[in-house]
Chains A and B, each alone.
Chain A
Amino acid sequence: MGVALIVGTAKGAAVLTSGDRDRWSEEFVLQGWPVTASVRDDLGRTYVAVSSPNFGVALFTSDDLRTWKQLESAPRYRPEDRGNPEHHRLVAKMDFEGKLKGGGRFVDQIWTLHAAHGALYAGVSEAGLFVSRDRGASWQPVDGFNEQPGRESWAPGFGGLGLHTILTDAKDPGRMWVGVSAAGFFRTDDGGKTWMRKDDGVHAFGGNCVHHVAHDPDNAPVLYRQEHFGVYKSDDGGDTWRVMEDGLPVTDMSDGHRCAFGFPMIHDRRSGATFAVPLDGDNFRFPRGGQLAVYRSTDGTNWHPLTNGLPSNCFAGVLRGSMAGDQMAPGGLYFGTTAGAIYASANLGESWKEIASNLPRIMSVDAYVT
């Protein structure tokens, strides 16, 4: 079995393929489009999201990773949906006179795609969840989430209100979780009709800014969370959280809190190991001292650094969607930096090598067994 990586960048997608996870071929497709997410459905079709500041969002599909076709439908709000003016001001809809395009709510980026239980899900900004039950031919808003009481009080951070994390329970189609920047982490137990905030015990500054959450869908209630303010673990589906930072580099944050800062969080299901890429706080956002490092926890409590093959002079960051595992045995891991390099490990992070470079800013990495 081989692996294919879909690497979303600011100016296209790099498709990297390998039969042995050692030698890689690379092709740069969808050139010119900012590629922000991808997913593969259970029939083997790959979907890639593009999010252009000029031409909006769209989805491309491929059955062979060589030819790509744009779908005629994409997640879109209704004309009557009301937007968040602060989100608009920060992220979208500024025309050249600096006037705000107030009133409406828009999809300005597809942050994540997820496939589960025969459906496709898209997480977008401005903070929304959409579902397709016909392989992307049409998309419907999940109004239980998108129109929930209290939404109007969400205060976006500099990156706006992005729904960037979608997790589903393999054993319960009615249970899922989503994470929204600057708003928090939410769970539904009834298929999306109603949602509960799951942030108790997580340090907040104004609101909760969840960066990324990972789990094993077959052991869904155990969650690993990278928050803006630290790393946490839940054993009960998010009802309660405890700090999980032993061994992680902690640093001073803007509000004086000391914690471990970073973006991606991924989980290898076979080994039960979890991986994070710490950065030196929210003021600097690059690896401490320039030493790029992936940290691994095998026991849900302690973390250990993995640096074999990673550069010691790296001042680039790793964005929340830019790390993935292939879930093979042993687990392969892959991540991309904002400086356009991709690093791969075929042994759960014990050693790394650079498999691609000189790419545009990397915004997403997804791995698929072929």
Chain B
Amino acid sequence: MSHEASASIRVQLPPLLRNLMGGERWLTGDGDSIMAVLADLGRKHPSLALHFFDEQGALRHNIAFVHDGAVVRAREATTHAVEPGDELILTTALAGG
């Protein structure tokens, strides 16, 4: 797995979506907010775009992120800033079942 220059944001995929990327755990995207990074990944990987964004272009509401140890919910992702070299963990909001 390559680690691009720190200008990119590393995003860890949840196990379910790694299978769509040939098992890759980490992807790299560009952008100054979580939303922008996900949009960049969606452009690079259209199969993932279906799973990131709904018909309104919003992040799916059960998606959440971990950034710098803090949980960031989907509704905060548009404005939540990230910086080059940051890492994001893409997860789902916890629920039973």
Contact = CB atoms under 8 A, between A and B. Distances in A.
B46 interface: yes
A70 B18 CA distance: 12
A173 interface: no
Contact of A54 (B46, B47, B92): B92
Contacts of B36: none
Nearest to A10: B97
B81 interface: no
B24 to A, nearest CB: 14
Contacts of B56: 79, 103-104, 106
B16 A32 contact: yes
B54 A56 contact: yes
A104 B55 contact: yes
Nearest to B20: A70
Interface string B54-77: 111100111100000000010100
Given A55-B17, A96-B93, A101-B61, A81 B55 contact: yes
A70 B47 contact: yes
Interface extent on B, as a size class? 20 to 34
B63 A72 contact: no
Contact of B62 (A33, A54, A70): A54
Nearest to A78: B55
B47 A72 contact: yes
Contacts, number: 55
A216 B17 CA distance: 39
Given A54-B60, A95-B61, A106 B20 contact: no
Interface in A28-59: 32-33, 52-58
Nearest to B15: A32
B66 to A, nearest CB: 16
B74 to A, nearest CB: 8
B50 interface: yes
Residue with the greatest number of chain B CB neighbours at <10 A, chosen from A56, A73, A101:
A56
A106 B58 CA distance: 12
B51 A55 contact: yes
Contacts of B15: 32
Residue with the greatest number of chain B CB neighbours at <10 A, chosen from A54, A72, A74:
A54
Interface string B36-56: 000000000011011100111
Contacts of B17: 55
A76 interface: yes
A93 B16 contact: no
A105 interface: yes
Given A54-B60, A54-B92, A95 B55 contact: no
Contacts of A107: 55
Contact of A56 (B20, B51, B75): B51
Contacts of A106: 54-56
B60 A56 contact: yes
B50 A93 contact: no
B54 A72 contact: no
Contacts of A224: none
Given A32-B16, A104-B55, A106-B55, A74 B60 contact: no
Contacts of A74: 50
Interface string A153-190: 00000000000000000000000000000000000000
A93 B61 contact: yes
Nearest to A81: B55
A72 B46 contact: yes
Contacts of A93: 61
A106 to B, nearest CB: 5
A68 to B, nearest CB: 9
